[in-house]
Amino acid sequence: MVAIGRALMSNPRVLLCDELSLGLAPLVIRDIYATLPRVREQGAAIVIVEQDIGQAMRVADRVYCLQEGRISLSGRPDELTRAQVSAAYFGV
């Protein structure tokens, strides 16, 4: 939480968030994800690295799955199913 606040204080053009939900209470995670659209409205691009597919897809404009450093799936969240993302993520 402190790292996110510290990063936002510099008015970044790009904000990289790695595993936002890791180790946080569900209520805190909900609040963070609810705030991301406002950060984006302020003009910052946000890159989210996240294993919680549902959370990430609800706020994303684009989804990219990487496997061994290569894009295995990409698209808009409304074009992709959870099964497609899981298959691309796990390499099935």
Q: What domain count does the chain have?
A: 2
Residues 41, 6 share a domain? yes
Whether 32 and 76 share a structural domain: no
- Domain span holding position 79: 62-92
Note the pLDDT of residue 66.
Answer: 87
CA gap 86, 13 in Å, rounded: 30
Q: What is the pLDDT of residue 3?
A: 81
Low-confidence residues of the chain: pLDDT under 70? 92
Is residue 72 a contact partner of residue 65, using CB atoms and an 8 Å limit?
A: yes
